[in-house]
Amino acid sequence: MPEKYVSIALSVALLVADFAAIWGLYKYSKRPIDPLRPRLIPNSVNTFLFLVLVIVSFAIMAHIVSLVTGVQLQPKRKRGL
């Protein structure tokens, strides 16, 4: 089995784990607030973790596209003005 397919399988597994973490964080944030039990993670940290996980998932998806097509994604315009 070529290394490319192993890398794709590993990337897809990481993407599935990332989506599971996003879903778990979403479910955790939607729980009703119990005044007698404070939350372990404040809402600001929860929002920050959610944004980080979404950015990581986009990076993994771009990596999977570059593995499947064999071409690294390039920006449409060059750097600079």
Q: How many domains does the chain have?
A: 1
Would you say residue 64 lies in a domain? Answer: yes
43 is a domain residue: yes
Residue 32 lies in a domain: yes
For tokens 């192993």, name the residue.
6
Residue 79: inside a domain: no
Range of the domain at 59: 3-69
C-alpha to C-alpha distance for 59 and 65, rounded to whole angstroms: 10
How many other CB atoms are there within 10 angstroms of residue 20's CB atom? Answer: 10
Rounded mean pLDDT, 12-32: 91
pLDDT per position as a tens digit, 45-63: 888 999 999 999 999 998 8
- Kindly indicate the confidence band of residue 13, based on its pLDDT and cuts at 50, 70 and 90: very high
| Per-residue pLDDT at 1 exceeds 60 | no
CA–CA separation, 79 and 35 (whole Å): 52
Tell me, yes or no, if the pTM score tops 0.75.
no
C-alpha span between 14 and 38 (Å, rounded): 31
